[in-house]
């Protein structure tokens, strides 16, 4: 069929010629969809909002001459508050970048789409800690890619890690290691007992059901773990 309609989020945009843009859409049913959005940069274009980063909408796409074109779009949510706070915008950009590394054309990824949409809503409309939301996103994101760090037992001696015990997050060994087994480990890999417990709670309950707050969320640990597993780099967040 030349026309198809689907919900999607704009993950990337590239200006093309004088008034057009090439958009990378993330659809839960179709995965990555690269489309040309004609005349969307004109001031009075009805597609102007549909071609903005992070916009969620119902896109009508026409296929012809070897390319997909945006015919129309009904905006569901623009997540406009992200554009008013640089730190939240940067966090959303990191999430979008992570998704761009993994989504493929015609590969349904409904769970990842829901995770991204919910994380955008938390960043845009809730008074949530940015590093907490981003950390939870990365933990669930990498788990959806098939990598789940072991958090309950030491990856070397298999000892059960107690609730009051921290450990080193070892990217190469896919889990935490107790202090006794890693005397030479890099200190930046150390997770406190509170951070380890928070990660366990996020995996089991989700961030919305956790009342525990941390002084320092393990964002750096999860970013390094994700980058190692995906063999790529993600954008850095601005220091707060």
Q: Spelled out in words, what is the top-level CATH class assigned to the domain 3-80? A: mainly beta
pLDDT of 21 reads: 97
pLDDT of 145 reads: 96
pLDDT tens, residue by residue, 174-217:
999 999 998 888 889 999 999 999 999 999 999 998 877 888 99
Q: Residue 124: is its pLDDT beyond 60? A: yes
Cα(122)–Cα(3) distance, integer angstroms: 33
Q: Which residues pair with 27 in a beta bridge?
A: 31
User: What is Dmax (Cα atoms) for the chain?
Assistant: 65
Q: Model pTM?
A: 0.95
pLDDT of 173 reads: 94
8 Å CB contact between 96 and 12: yes
Q: Residue 7: is its pLDDT beyond 80? A: yes
Q: Give the number of C-alpha atoms closer than 13 A to the C-alpha of residue 180, restricted to the C-beta side.
A: 9
- For tokens 């074109």, the residue is 69
What average pLDDT score do residues 3-29 get? 96
- For tokens 């202090």, the residue is 179
From 223, 218, 229, select the one nearest 145 (Cα to Cα).
229
pLDDT of 1 reads: 53
8 Å CB contact between 185 and 168: yes
pLDDT band per the 50, 70, 90 thresholds, residue 225: very high
Cα(212)–Cα(233) distance, integer angstroms: 29
What average pLDDT score do residues 62-83 get? 94
What residue spans define the domains of the chain?
Answer: 3-80, 129-230
Cα(14)–Cα(24) distance, integer angstroms: 9
Q: Which residues pair with 3 in a beta bridge?
A: 62
Whole-number CA gyration radius for the chain: 20
């Amino acid at each position: 069929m030349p026309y198809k309609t689907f919900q999607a989020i704009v993950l990337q945009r590239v200006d093309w010629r004088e008034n057009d843009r090439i958009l990378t859409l993330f659809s839960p049913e179709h995965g990555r969809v690269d489309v040309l959005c004609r005349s969307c940069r004109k001031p009075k274009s009805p597609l102007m909002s549909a071609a903005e980063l992070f916009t969620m909408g119902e896109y009508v796409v026409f296929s012809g001459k070897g390319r997909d074109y945006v015919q129309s779009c009904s905006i569901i949510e623009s997540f406009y508050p992200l554009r008013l706070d640089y730190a939240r915008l940067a966090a959303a950009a990191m999430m979008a970048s992570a998704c761009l590394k993994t989504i493929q054309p015609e590969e349904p990824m409904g769970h990842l789409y829901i995770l991204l949409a919910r994380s955008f809503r938390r960043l845009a409309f809730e008074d949530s800690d940015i590093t907490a939301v981003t950390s939870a996103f990365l933990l669930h994101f990498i788990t959806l890619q098939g990598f789940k760090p072991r958090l309950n037992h030491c990856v070397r001696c298999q000892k059960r890690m107690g609730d009051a015990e921290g450990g080193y997050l070892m990217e190469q060994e896919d889990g935490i290691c107790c202090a006794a087994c890693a005397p030479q480990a890099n200190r930046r890999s150390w997770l406190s007992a509170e951070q380890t417990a928070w990660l366990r709670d996020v995996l089991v309950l989700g961030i919305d059901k956790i009342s525990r707050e941390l002084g320092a969320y393990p964002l750096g640990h999860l970013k390094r773990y994700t980058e190692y597993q995906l063999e790529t780099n993600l954008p850095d967040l601005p220091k707060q």
